[in-house]
Amino acid sequence: MNLICTLVRQCQSSEASLKPRSHHTALVENTALWIHASECANHGSIVALVQRVLEQRPDLEIVITSSHIDFQFQDTRIHVLNGFSDTSQTRSNFFASHAPHVVIWVGGYLSASVLTTFQGPQTLSLLVDACAQGFALRRLSFLPNPDKRLLGYFDKVIPIDPNAQDTLTRLGVDAERMPMCGALQSMPLLDQDNDETTAFTIKTGNRLTWYAANHHPDEIHIILSAHEQIVRQSHSTLLLLAARNDQEAEEYQRHISAHNLRSSVLDPDSLPDQNVQVAIVICSKDQDIALHRAAAVSFLGQSLGTGMRGSSPAPAAAVGSALCYGPNSSDYGALYSKLAHVGGARMVNDADTMAQAVGHMLTASTGAAMALSAWTVLTEGADITDFILDLALGHLDDIGV
């Protein structure tokens, strides 16, 4: 009995230390939105959320912190602090310079020292993609639970699945604060109204066509070796490559010639010659979507070599292209696993497996079924993301930010 009493007192003391602090009054209010990725957060979901925010509010400044995901953004409106932890000096420096009006915590593993620092009178706090493994349920129910206390800091809590919903209910989150259940959208949808994505088109006639997208220079020989095998089985199959300028197109042609394949730079207004086996399209990165649209199958590059991190499946899936990808796609690992599980994508490891996969997916029934499965995965969670955006941006409007 004495041991139990001691434990209760220790837990009560620990919980009491979680009371809100007033540090927010000393912070510089230059950040509208802060997103924190916990250990069970999905990289793709956060990228999609950030993109959606900036589409609607291009004037905002966003800070993203993470202890385990290495985020990389080129946009100067997005400030990233990787390696974020409760005890790091970088965290202390961060607290000294940012006072966000909206906090979105993704996943779980709540931190008392972080959450209590950012609570201000005009701060909206949202917990999304809350996963069951990110919260502790005590076996001795009479002992105070720090997670239960910390969950009280959030205005709305969105569990990722029914298991997480049950865990959070047991931790005291009521239905009013937990109005929905489900995951954020895994990837952003294509902006179909973007002139850059619709005005540029590629014509391939009725030829079976696949596209090697966003590939690394080290992958070009694997891609061309795979295509050599494909055209032995289906002579008219066409491979599309995107070049950013004439010099890159010439470099491609040298590689293609070394593989005894015939190539030409494709005029977007003309059909490729029937003898051409690899068509090179000179276009901007924003126009790559036209190649996905023209191809029944897309290989998503930057994914075969050691140290590579993969490419987003969103552009290809959004326009109905079947997907294949390499094993080194860590930036989108959770999404690719989900796509593969439902038959929406196929992993390849080398030229042989790439040739087999592409050849199989180029059949009409297989490719169409895979593309539909990928589209279904891509659009899941759109209602959750819309709800979070409405809350966050509505709050900023209400307080005049």
Q: Look-up: residue for tokens 């790559």?
A: 288
Higher pLDDT, 173 or 142: 173
Shared domain for 211 and 250, answered yes or no, is: yes
Shared domain for 227 and 369, answered yes or no, is: yes
Number of domains making up the chain: 2
Domain-embedded: residue 315: yes
Q: What is the pLDDT of residues 58-72, one digit of tens each?
A: 999 898 988 777 787
How high is the pLDDT of residue 14?
Answer: 39
* 33-37: strand order across its sheet: 78-82, 62-66, 33-37, 102-106, 124-130, 156-159
Higher pLDDT, 15 or 250: 250
Domain-embedded: residue 190: no
What is the C-alpha to C-alpha distance for residues 400 and 372, in angstroms, rounded to an integer? 42
Question: What is the average pLDDT across 36-61?
Answer: 88
Q: What is the pLDDT of residues 274-326, one digit of tens each?
A: 999 999 999 988 889 999 999 999 999 999 999 999 998 888 888 889 999 99
How high is the pLDDT of residue 254?
Answer: 97
pLDDT tier for residue 96 given thresholds of 50, 70 and 90 = low
Shared domain for 46 and 96, answered yes or no, is: yes
Decide if 124 contacts 392 (C-beta within 8 A): yes
Kindly give the residue spans of alpha helices, DSSP state H, lying in 96-203.
Answer: 112-115, 146-151, 162-170, 195-198
Percent of the chain with pLDDT over 70: 83
Decide if 358 contacts 300 (C-beta within 8 A): no
Shared domain for 139 and 219, answered yes or no, is: no
How many CB atoms are closer than 10 A to CB 299?
31
How high is the pLDDT of residue 31?
Answer: 73
User: pTM for this structure?
Assistant: 0.69
Domain-embedded: residue 4: no
Domain-embedded: residue 12: no
Shared domain for 94 and 236, answered yes or no, is: no
Q: What is the pLDDT of residues 19-34, one digit of tens each?
A: 333 333 333 345 789 9
Shared domain for 38 and 91, answered yes or no, is: yes
Q: Of the ranges 8-12, 31-35, 182-186, 250-254, which is most confident?
A: 250-254
How high is the pLDDT of residue 188?
Answer: 67
How high is the pLDDT of residue 39?
Answer: 81
Shared domain for 94 and 217, answered yes or no, is: no
How high is the pLDDT of residue 81?
Answer: 80
How many CB atoms are closer than 10 A to CB 287?
18
Gyration radius from the chain CA atoms:
25
Decide if 359 contacts 310 (C-beta within 8 A): no
Question: What is the average pLDDT across 105-124?
Answer: 81
Shared domain for 389 and 371, answered yes or no, is: no
Query: Does residue 7 register a pLDDT over 80?
Result: no
How high is the pLDDT of residue 269?
Answer: 81
How high is the pLDDT of residue 198?
Answer: 53
Q: Of the ranges 95-109, 145-159, 178-192, 366-380, which is most confident?
A: 145-159
DSSP reduced 3-state for 387: helix
How many CB atoms are closer than 10 A to CB 207?
16
User: Which amino acid is present at 46?
Assistant: I
How high is the pLDDT of residue 26?
Answer: 32
What b/e string do you get for 336-366 counting C-beta neighbours within 10 Å, with b at 16 or more?
bebbbeeebbbbbeebebbbbbbbebbeeeb
Question: What is the average pLDDT across 196-222?
Answer: 86
DSSP reduced 3-state for 44: helix
Q: Look-up: residue for tokens 């955006």?
A: 389
Domain-embedded: residue 326: yes
Instruction: From residue 64, give the alpha-carbon distance in Å to each of 69, 174, 376.
Output: 10, 28, 28
How high is the pLDDT of residue 136?
Answer: 78
Question: What is the average pLDDT across 375-384?
Answer: 87
Residue 185: phi and psi, rounded to 5, are: -60, 135
How high is the pLDDT of residue 88?
Answer: 55
Shared domain for 166 and 235, answered yes or no, is: no
Shared domain for 332 and 277, answered yes or no, is: yes
Closest CA to 203 of 248, 235, 240: 240
Structure tokens at 238: 């066409």
How high is the pLDDT of residue 95?
Answer: 60
Shared domain for 146 and 264, answered yes or no, is: no
Per DSSP bridges, beta strands 345-347 and 263-265 are unpaired
Domain that holds residue 105: 18-185+381-398
Domain-embedded: residue 87: yes
Domain of 286, CATH number, reads 3.40.50.2000
Shared domain for 35 and 108, answered yes or no, is: yes
Question: What is the average pLDDT across 119-129?
Answer: 85
Closest CA to 93 of 83, 102, 103, 101: 83
How high is the pLDDT of residue 23?
Answer: 32
